[in-house]
Amino acid sequence: MHKTREGFRNNVTVRKNMHMLEGDLKNLSGSNDPVFLCFGCDPYPTGYDSTPTRTVLEQMKKYDVPVRILTKSIDCIRDFDLLAKMRSEFGMTLTFRDETLSKEWEPNAASPTQRIDRLSIAKSRGIKTWASIEPVIIRSETIAIVRASLPFVDSYKIGKLNHANPPEKIDWVSFREEIIEIMKENNKNYYIKKDLAEII
């Protein structure tokens, strides 16, 4: 996004085109393609008012537009009542099992334990759950967080670390084989992203 970390984190605002939302959702009414909230940001930004996210979800429910959520925040639980009544998929980004490493790499995110807890609660309320396992930074940590989340996650999307070298060298082919085996052993739906799928 061509921004500094500070510029990105310190400029959390509601988009100016929110007034266009209802018209857009009317056009999408009944669609089977979920609207993604969101990949390049978080619909529940830490330290900011996220009530506009609930407003969006209420409108999506009204017009029967499915939603796919991805977050690292525990505040998401506030909207589980809505998600349970609409076509929804609730996802968490999972990167580390170790709380200290998570805090170091993801300073404004909920802890791994808290994220798994939210996935557990969502699943117990009948909400479809998924996890974004991206980026894979430390192989052993990825495997550990996947295994810890298996009871609460319906499907996984897995992608490698790009644009930087991992702190420990990763044999990506071997990792891919291991993660696929875990998915198959546990009857999980999964998607290996192109950058990882094409490594030979």
Distances in whole angstroms, Cα of residue 131 to Cα of each of 30, 34, 140, 172: 25, 16, 17, 19
What pLDDT score was predicted for residue 50? 87
Task: Give me the number of domains the chain comprises.
Answer: 1
Q: Could you tell me if 125 and 162 are in contact, meaning their C-beta atoms sit under 8 angstroms apart?
A: no
pLDDT for residue 89: 97
Within-domain flag for 187 = yes
Residues lower than pLDDT 70 in the chain: 1-3, 5-18
In terms of residue numbers, what domain contains 104?
Answer: 20-197
Question: Residue 84 falls within a domain, yes or no?
Answer: yes
Q: Which two tokens stand for residue 104?
A: 């170091």
Q: For the domain that residue 65 is a member of, what is the CATH number? A: 3.80.30.30
Q: Residue 92: inside a domain, yes or no?
A: yes
What is the DSSP annotation of 132-151? EEEEE-SHHHHHHHHHHHGG
Look at residue 5 in the predicted model and tell me its pLDDT.
64
Q: What is the pLDDT of residue 152?
A: 98
pLDDT at 12: 58
Residue 13 covered by a domain: no
Kindly state whether residue 97 falls inside one of the protein's structural domains: yes
Domain annotation covers residue 14: no
Question: Does residue 60 fall inside a structural domain?
Answer: yes
For 113: left if phi > 0, alpha if psi spans -120 to 50, otherwise beta; the answer is alpha
SS3 11: coil
Long-range contacts of 81-84 (CB under 8 A, 24+ apart): 82/54, 82/57, 82/58, 83/57, 83/122, 83/125, 83/127, 84/125, 84/126, 84/127
Determine the pLDDT at residue 103.
95
What does the alpha-carbon distance between residue 173 and residue 14 come to, in Å, rounded to a whole number? 41
Identify any residues that bridge with 131 across adjacent strands, giving them in sequence order. 92, 156
Q: What is the pLDDT of residue 17?
A: 64
The pLDDT assigned to 10 comes to 63
Query: Is residue 12 situated within a structural domain?
Result: no
